[in-house]
Structure 1
Amino acid sequence: MTKRVLILGGRGRIGGSVAKDLLTHTQAEVTITGRTPGNRTGDSRVQHLVLDLADVEKLKKAIASTDLVVHCAGPFHYRDANVLKICIEHGVNYVDVSDHRSYTSKALIYNDAAVSAGVTAIVNTGIFPGISNSMVRQGVEQFDTPEKIHLSYLVSGSGGAGVTVMRTTFLGLQQPIEAWIDGKWQTVKPYSQRENLDFPPPYGRSGVYWFDMPETFTLPHAFPSVKTVITKFGSVPDFYNHLTWIAAHIFPKQLMQQKSAIEFLAHVSHFMTDVTNPFSGIGVTVRSEITGQKDDKIATFCSTLVHENTAVASGCGTGSIAQLLLDGKLKKPGVSPVEEALPTDLFEQTMQSRSIDISHEWLYKQKFDNRQIENEYPRRKT
């Protein structure tokens, strides 16, 4: 029988990218929801449904008649986990593109209920978090004992996404970050401690800053031997980083807590990126660096990815998880972040099928006393 997928928020840039990925890689029928009627696509497998998540009865009816729900209706800072709860009640598998720890924490509460219902619910899919988390798992598996994770992301201009992503950026500046550093939770200021790191072309050496992401706390849980998890984010062109830093450190805290201020900043930023997108592009690069013990030495393994369109890359990440669930190749009852649910072999297969290349390098190998670096691992790509 033909599988049915319900994409909540499917009329947004990221939701639309997920729909396109599913139509390309599966035979599923796709229902796209939005608050207003959608335009006809000419594809008989696509239907549109006017739906507000506040209309619980209509939401329940839509979920009950589908095989998989893909939740793309952000920003997730404001969301409860009611969609997930309804999916569990109706025995429907669930995937989302959530990108904030507050929502992830709410979702994980339903793990036992999902296990009992036999429902596989996977949160934090997309590009970051999402593909980035699977890159970390791929790297961690190279080590006898992984000890440190350093994840960095760069997005050009708007990333091809809508104003919701801009809201997410400014909402991420509201609260201090609880980060796992040296084996304990420590408080870090958002958009602080700039690092200049080497990214693949066309990005080169660029600056990134601490940013609150759900993987900041899900990765230490997934990989208990890891003592430090760093998640940093930056924008291209670089002057956007300085503007965001001002918003995080100069603007009054009371102002940044106001929804009206967030809306104003989000719309102004989106207008600015409309101007700069033709020059900067709308791509993304991810850099995953894992350090740990391998063969009684300390080594560092670096993975990098570049995609020309951030929203499309996010659609590939979420679409690949949805495809595996629809095909019955991925089944893990409970609520899991993607790095705990997706085996590396399946991750590699779906990335290859979408022509997403991930480069790997052994950067160096050093003695335990940290005083001498030995170039025993040459740079190489695999």
Structure 2
Amino acid sequence: MPFRVAIIGGYGNFGGYVARQLAADRAIELVICGRNLAKAQKFAAGLQAANPAHAARVDIADPPAVMLGEIAPDLVINMVGPYQGQGYGVAKAAIAVGAHYCDIADARAFVCGIGELDSVAREKGVTVLSGASSVPALTAAYCDAALEDMTELRRVEYGISGAEQANRGAGTVAAVLSYVGERFTRLQAGRMQEEIGWRGAIPVDYPDLGRRWFATGDVPDLELFQSRYPGLQDHRFLAGHEIAPLHFGLWVMGALRRVRLIPNLSRFADLLVSLSKPFNVLSRGRSGFHMVIEGVDARGAPVIRRHWIIARSGHGPNIPVIPPILIARKLARGEQLAPGARPCLDVISLDEYRAAFAGLDIECIDE
């Protein structure tokens, strides 16, 4: 019997890519879930899946346990953001019906707090993984790989610059806006210190892409990596736009939010998505990721690694949704993942992640 995977938000931008990648797998049977049953049915019918795909209405705003019980999934993938302020109702429902669970959350409190479900997940013998995305799954994979020739990490900095033609939904935009002008903490000079979201105008010169502008961002890694890499002294995450006017426009709004002249920007996600669409004509559909890892080797000598991911042809949004695809395939083939609830670390290696770029217009550069 095929491994049944329920994708909540399965006909959306991110969920749709996951569904299309899993559809051809004969070991997997898909159930496309969402608030709009007609959309789910239409999308499922168009998948031409190896095993006939099904559709179901699942609204995360409602108690989903009964609905998931009727679906009887082996794995639930929650693709519905933003996760900021979202409770663990979907994960609890998955556990209740004996299903594994993963999501692509980038919300710091959501990912770091998933451990509260650990004991009940262990009792049910299921795996619950939060943050199965670029952060912290990919970023931790890069750091873990660096430890092959470093004995200790000292400084880590990385950033994501998305293309404007990425078809971002309001949920994705709201996730970023939630920390613009807001205070959070990150590791600086060996201790956690206050930072402000979208502060700074930091230029980074990319291979092929040229100069991109960045500002400070908040991600789960900033809390998780301090204990994971004990020698770490400085840790910073950056975010930016492909189109510079949009980046600096958001910087101005962040400054207004910092002094509390405007409310949290996440409530304006729909409006800002609409206002940004005219800028899509300036986009070249190219996204970038960069990472700098500094540490020391066994002799105490400094070591620096620099990494770039260049995504062309609008393929950048595929990068953050690779972990759910790999997790589903692992479980469908009988690979045992340790039961319990935790952030998505130690599940996907860097080699596995980058191998999944095959067939995409994505280039990895290591220095």
* Structure 2: stretches of 5+ with no match in the other structure: none
**Structure 1 residue 106 corresponds to structure 2 residue 109:** no
Structure 2 Cα separation of the partners of residues 76 and 283 of structure 1 = 26
- Contact 1:17 1:314 (C-alpha < 8 Å) held by counterparts: no
Task: Check 1:241–1:43 CA distance in 2 against 1; reply closer, same or farther (3 A cut).
Answer: same
CA RMSD of aligned residues (A): 2.4
- Contact 1:146 1:292 (C-alpha < 8 Å) held by counterparts: yes
Shift of 1:32: 1.3
Calculate the TM-score normalised by the size of structure 1.
Answer: 0.84
SS of the residue 2:346 aligns to? helix
Task: Check 1:327–1:199 CA distance in 2 against 1; reply closer, same or farther (3 A cut).
Answer: farther
Structure 2 Cα separation of the partners of residues 4 and 61 of structure 1 = 13
Pairing partner for 1:238 from 208, 232, 244: 244
Q: Deviations over 1:99-150 (max 9, x none)?
A: 1112113312222332343222221123344433323332343311111111
Pairing partner for 1:75 from 63, 71, 82: 82
Structure 1 Cα separation of the partners of residues 227 and 55 of structure 2 = 38
Structure 1 Cα separation of the partners of residues 70 and 158 of structure 2 = 37
Structure 1 counterpart of 2:231: 225
- Contact 2:121 2:341 (C-alpha < 8 Å) held by counterparts: yes
Q: Deviations over 1:291-349 (max 9, x none)?
A: 00024210111111122323222333431232223223351222232333334454454
Amino acid at match of 2:311: H
Task: Check 1:141–1:62 CA distance in 2 against 1; reply closer, same or farther (3 A cut).
Answer: farther
Structure 2 Cα separation of the partners of residues 248 and 326 of structure 1 = 44
Structure 2 counterpart of 1:150: 157
Structure 1 counterpart of 2:309: 305
Structure 2 counterpart of 1:29: 29
Task: Check 1:353–1:335 CA distance in 2 against 1; reply closer, same or farther (3 A cut).
Answer: farther
Identity across the alignment (%): 19
SS of the residue 1:221 aligns to? helix
Shift of 1:152: 1.0
Alignment of 1:172-251 (within 5 A): 172-173=179-180, 175-201=182-208, 203-251=209-257
Structure 2 Cα separation of the partners of residues 163 and 111 of structure 1 = 31
Shift of 1:62: 4.5
Structure 2 counterpart of 1:255: 262
Alignment of 1:1-382 (within 5 A): 1-24=1-24, 27-36=27-36, 37-38=38-39, 39=42, 40-41=45-46, 43=48, 45-56=52-63, 57-62=65-70, 65-173=72-180, 175-201=182-208, 203-251=209-257, 253=260, 255-257=262-264, 262-263=266-267, 265-296=268-299, 297-308=301-312, 309-329=315-335, 331-352=337-358, 356-361=362-367
Task: Check 1:347–1:312 CA distance in 2 against 1; reply closer, same or farther (3 A cut).
Answer: closer
Task: Check 1:127–1:17 CA distance in 2 against 1; reply closer, same or farther (3 A cut).
Answer: farther
Structure 2 Cα separation of the partners of residues 42 and 298 of structure 1 = 50
Q: Deviations over 1:156-197 (max 9, x none)?
A: 115232222121221122531211222211110111133212
Task: Check 1:26–1:213 CA distance in 2 against 1; reply closer, same or farther (3 A cut).
Answer: farther
Amino acid at match of 2:343: P
Deviates more, 1:291-300 or 1:281-290: 281-290
SS of the residue 1:336 aligns to? strand
Amino acid at match of 1:46: A
Structure 1 Cα separation of the partners of residues 7 and 144 of structure 2 = 27
